[in-house]
Amino acid sequence: MSRQDIAEVGGKGANLGELIKAGIPVPNGFVVTSSAYRQFLKDNNLVPKIKKILSDLDVEKSDILSKKALEIQNLILSGKMSEILVTEIKNAYEALVARSTSKLVAIRSSATAEDLPSASFAGQQKTFLNVTGAEQVVVNVQKAFASLFEARAIYYRSINHFDHFQVALASPVQQMVQADKSGILFTVNPLTSNDDELVIEAGLGLGETIVSGSVNPDQYIIDKASLRIKEQHIAKQAWKMVYDSVTGKNVHLNLTVTEQATQKISSEEILQLARLGLKIENYYHFPQDTEWAIQSSQLFFVQSRPITTLKKKAETKPDTEVIENKNASSVEPLLKGIPASIGIVTGKVKIIHSPAENNNIQVGDILVAEMTNPSYVPAMKRATAIVTDSGGMTSHAAIVSRELGKPAVVGTGQATHQLKDGEEITVDGARGYIYRGKIASKNIRDEHIVESQISTPNDIASLRDAVPVTGTKVYLNLAEPTGAKEASKLPVDGVGSKTGYLSYNRF
């Protein structure tokens, strides 16, 4: 598989095929194609029925959207797969597990578009882990088909003006990686846009905890030229997610006091990751956001996509705005966390504990939550800054905040407990500090942080002239698809949507 096959196998399958071509270790798998999905809809005469359910739907009315989404999913689940498709899936599964010591697989959803091959729509549909047996694989592939009409997937397609029936779903099925350690590797520092640095985030157990932001990962900043570790921050991890063979489920396993404080990956593993990260970047000729997992000392890369949030190199201009006459050097931060998206802003705290409370966030509020997921995006758009209890530089809250251009601090540990609704705070997204009240923003700026984004016509024109023509097409996957129009002006071959990252179940 390659990027040329994206219309049939989706962005996930295509990218994994490219990694294999580049000589990167990737778990084995196969893909139920988008053509199979379209034939399933045709065989069960589902398109006119779905169109009727979606007619006159206002996606901003979340309660109605959820009801309609469930109705469509039940309709798809009640359909019948053709005997030909069932047989092909079962045969492919048996061939896959015959080459493995485990019969467990992950079944994922990779949406694509018939006439829009650059649109991947990843992360908006469901993934099914630790599935065993050919019959259950068939059942869960059909569940993956149904997940194309998750409420948040319908919402994203609607606000991005994609026809629901131009979009189809491919279902990658791959050998399950029971990760002992997992994480993210950026081939450019995503916060400072320093292209002389690699950034690795690592945690114990399955990678969902890192990409969802439910744990604070270790962070390692590597000098590209020498592969020397320039900085490392070891985070406390109280628990990890693992597969329980008795119950057949993923469970939380508490870590010992010693394990909680231990460095997650060794120096040798850091060096191995860095070398392969550089190999991936050189293959794509573009900075990459990659996901990896280690099982029994064997390293797998499970995803790679272009980094969507880089800033341009420019001199930092002095900030002339003084919010209030206070000197930050004389004020201790109320909270400290991980800097996730640069910028300094003052606003009032609004704490929410689930997407059901999204409507509580008004324009200008500072959204404070334990962590975020794609269902929080409407509230994140209205907020002026985002603060979370958990998560790292590669968590959902961090990535979406950078794409939206909102200051963000993640991994504070106690923001939802220490801050109060209505309290006025200042968020310094460059350094990861939260101050009580209004602070003179010019006094707390980090001088080496660049805040200007590549957004002017001259910026874009200069990039197009500077970027060489390559044999491999370069695509952008956005966590927030409403920026697709502007991103399409960059020197790339296409733009798609990427909103969720579950590295523990990758290819």
For residues 175 and 366, what is the distance between their CA atoms, to the nearest angstrom? 41
Nearest to 376 by CA among 394, 393, 351: 351
Find the farthest-apart pair of alpha carbons in the chain and give their distance in angstroms, rounded. Answer: 73
Beta strands in 384-439 (DSSP E): 385-388, 408-410, 424-428, 433-436
Which of 285, 396, 417, 448 is catalytic? The answer is 396
- The side-by-side arrangement of strands in the sheet containing 298-306 is 229-233, 218-223, 197-204, 181-186, 288-295, 298-306
Cβ-based neighbours of 172, under 8 Å, separated by 6 or more: 9, 10, 12, 13, 16, 29, 30, 31, 32, 107, 108, 110, 507
Contact 339, 231 (CB under 8 A): no
Nearest to 498 by CA among 485, 479, 470: 479
For residues 152 and 59, what is the distance between their CA atoms, to the nearest angstrom? 9
For residues 157 and 59, what is the distance between their CA atoms, to the nearest angstrom? 10
Helix (H) or strand (E) holding 292: strand 288-295
Task: Extract the tokens encoding 460.
Answer: 């874009």
Nearest to 65 by CA among 157, 163, 160: 157
Task: Extract the tokens encoding 24.
Answer: 């990167």
| Residue 396 falls in the annotated catalytic set | yes
Contact 173, 30 (CB under 8 A): yes
Cβ-based neighbours of 351, under 8 Å, separated by 6 or more: 368, 369, 416, 419, 421
Active site residues: 396
